[in-house]
Every structure is written in C-alpha cells, then in structure tokens.
Structure 1
Amino acid sequence: MLPNLRLFYILFALLFGFLLCVPAQAGAQGKKVLLIVAKRDFEDVEYSKTRKALDDAGLQSTVASTKTGTLKGRKGKRVTADLELKDVAVADYDAVVIIGGNGIKKQWKNGDAHRIVREAMDQGKVVAAICAGPGVLGYAGVMQGKRGTAHPRSGAKSVMRDHGCEYVNQDVVVDGNLITANGPGAAAAFGEAVVKALQ
C-alpha cells in the first residue's frame, strides 16, 4: 500500500511541476482566432499560410462566412465554414483575421462583418486583414488615424485612405492591435505577426 502511495505522490509532483512550466512556454497556445473567409474566391495561399502559422502556434481557429459548409478558393481550395457571421460572439475569440481575395470585396459593406470588427476593436482584441480584406476594416470605420496596408490593386487602398487610414507600402503593418498585410507573398509573415500579437 505504501509503495503505491509513494508512487502516487511522485507522479502528482511531476504533473504539478509540468503544469507550472506550461504557461511560461505556451505563449499564444490555446487562444482562439476567428477567420473570416469569403464563400467564394478567397485567396488560397493567404488562407493556407496564415492558417499554418496559427496552427503551428497551437491556436484554435474557427472559420466564419456568410454561409456554413464548403467555401471555395480562387484556385480551388476548399475550406469548411463552422458558423455564419451573424452568429459570431466576438467575446469567444482573442483575434479576428480577415482573409483576402476577390471574394472578400463582396463583404466590404457587410453589416455582420462590421459588427464583428468593431466589437473586437472595442474589446481590445487583435484585428487583422490581408490583401483586399482591409476594405472591410475601412468600411467598418476602425482605421481612422491608423496605419495600414493592403494589396495595391485590390481597391482596398482607396477605401482605407477614404476612411482616415494612412496607407503604408509595406508587406505587413502593425499599428497597436491592428495588423494588415498586402497579399499572398506576405501571408506567412502576416500569420506570424498575428501569433506574436497574441503572445
């Protein structure tokens, strides 16, 4: 009986010691990210590379769109949307990330997307958008007085400027909890910037 009790205490001590070490090493691990993705014509590379950075960091990602089920990328990538934008409870997430591509332009003036972005900013969450995605941020009114970037030929650049944003010609721009990136080539760095902001 005593040897078993001794073994129990040893295992308990090891487990307790391990749990004490986890928070220092975890960083962003376990935090939750909402990915807003267009139902059609999202940019495949932007989704894949951003998602990989989030997954590699141990973040939990949820995909939201204007519909649930299968979403189709510009080059044929298929992604499953877990919930509709109208059903998103922003308080459940640590970050909101908008994936670009031509499809997201149809959501630039989407009221549900605007609500999500505004609530996230008000709650001090990380808010990020890439390529044409910053157009949503511009129309949501959260870029006033901020610095940001977008794909120069997406039309988002004009939207951002028209809504008080200082456009910067860089791959990735971080202004407080707001992160923007200019396109597929910056997707990996964009994902890493989101991870870093959540650490």
Structure 2
Amino acid sequence: MINKMAANGKKILMLVGDFVEDYEAMVPYQMLLMLGHKVATACPGKSPGDTVATAIHDFEGHQTYTEKPGHRFAINSDFATVDPADFDAIIIPGGRAPEYLRLDNAVLDMVRHFAETAKPIAAICHGPQILVAAGILNDRECSSYPAVAPEVTAAGGRYITPGKGLDTAHVDGNLVTAPAWPAHPAWIREFHQLLESV
C-alpha cells in the first residue's frame, strides 16, 4: 500500500514564512509525506537549510486565538529558483506569514499559476489572504479563519462559514480551504482526493 501511494505521489509546493502557524505547516507536511507525496517547502529570501520560525495559535476561550512560540520549520527548496510549472499542487498554511507574503509579487504569480492551470490549491486559516491578494477568489467559495471573511467577500468570493469546532473543509473545484488546524483531517483528506485526480 505504501509503495503504491509513493508511486502515485505528487509534487507539492508549500509556501511558508516566519511565524507561519506551526500545526498548519508541520502537520500537513508530515501527513502529505506519509501519503507518499513530495513536498517542497519554500519561502521568499530563504534557501535549503534555512528555517522559519513558527507560531502556535490556540483557541482557549478568549475573543480571539492566543499565540505562543512554535518550532523551527525547515526550508528544503530555493524560492528564487522554484518553478511552479514543476509542481502538481500548492498548499498555503496560515498564521501571520500570509499577511506579508501576499505583498510579494513572486508569491502572487506562483499562486496565479495554480489557479490558471486548475491545479489543486489548498489554503487554511489566514492562507486565503494570499488568494485574495492574487485576485483568484472572484465567484469562488472559500473558507478561512473567520477574521479573514471580510477580505474574501471584498475580493468577490463567497465566504463559507465554518462549523462551530473550526473542523470543516470546503471544496470549490480545484480549491480546498479550511478555517484552522482543527480541520486538518477533513482538509488534507479533501486535498488528497484532489491530488488523486491530477
């Protein structure tokens, strides 16, 4: 079974930056490797062997999430030489990284490539901020962390309200989105199904 999965594995680009949400980078990375996929982690200004700092966001009954220091997440690809055409799909974790990664035109061009070629795109939590900035959500349905809902709507997207436990994922064509890391089982399951159709 594992050999079969590895033989059918896809090449996935994961965009990260400093203070990416720890669980939303670490856990999907490990899950996708376990399923036999190859995951290239890339960050503007970083090279293989570098790391990004992560932040752990938790839901502890306050009006918004709390933030704690996370781990160091390894970069295994050189952002400057990454060609999105070499990849079958892209995954965009949340956290604080998307708010500044969306200011990088090279990041936006990469994301547009996946939209224009209808390759699978997975984004979670604040990750859809990059989708908004890339201009690819017009007339698309998108889930995200609730605080990103006004941006999704302003970009012409239809915001999908998550379930109470933030544990649901939503699929609209080649786009699979989710509100936060509690949705990992549903989000990665749906993303993996999209990958199998590529």
TM range (shorter): 0.7 to 0.9
What amino acid sits opposite 1:70 in the alignment? T
Range with greater deviation from structure 2 (90-99 or 27-36): 27-36
DSSP-derived class of the 2:13 partner: strand
User: Quick one: distance in 2 between partners of 1:175 and 1:96?
Assistant: 15
Residue matched to 2:19: 41
**Residue in 2 that maps onto 1:88:** 82
Residue 32 (structure 1) shift: 0.4
Q: What residue number does 2:192 align with?
A: 195
* Paired-residue identity, %: 28
Following superposition, the deviation at residue 27 of structure 1 comes to 8.4
Find out whether 1:104 has 2:101 as its counterpart: no
Pair 1:115-2:93 in alignment: no
TM-score by length of 2: 0.81
1:182 corresponds, among 160, 179, 183, to 179
Closer/same/farther in 2, CA of residues 28 and 108 from structure 1, 3 Å limit: farther
Q: Does 1:151 align with 2:132?
A: no
Answer whether contact 1:125 1:177 (CA < 8 A) is retained: yes
1:161 and 2:153 correspond: yes
Q: Secondary structure of 1:132's partner? A: coil
Q: What's the counterpart of residue 78 of structure 1?
A: 72
Q: 1:50 touches 1:188 (CA, 8 Å); kept in 2?
A: no
Segments of structure 1 that go 5 or more residues without pairing to the other structure are 1-20
Please give the secondary structure, in 2, of the residue aligned with 1:76: strand
For residue 124 of structure 1, report the CA deviation from its aligned partner. 2.0
Q: In 1, Cα distance between the equivalents of 2:76 and 2:104?
A: 18
Q: Is the 8 A contact 2:6 2:36 kept in 1?
A: no
| Count of aligned pairs | 175
Equivalent in the alignment of 1:59:
37
Task: Output the CA distance in 1 between the equivalents of 2:2 and 2:149.
Answer: 42
Q: Which has the higher helix share?
A: 1
Distance 1:52 1:188, change over 3 A: farther
Once residues 94 and 147 of structure 1 are traced to their aligned partners in structure 2, the CA distance between those partners, rounded to angstroms, is 21
Cα distance per residue 1:152-180 (max 9 Å; x no partner): 13xx2222111110000122111000111
Q: How far apart are the structure 2 equivalents of 1:132 and 1:124? A: 21
Task: Supply the RMSD in Å over aligned alpha carbons.
Answer: 2.1
8 Å Cα contact 1:34/1:97 also seen in 2: yes
Contact 1:104 1:133 in 2 (8 A): yes
- Deviation at 1:140? 0.3
- The offset of 1:86, in angstroms, is 3.9
**1:188 & 1:124 partners in 2: Cα distance?**
23
| Shift of residue 94, structure 1, vs aligned partner | 0.5
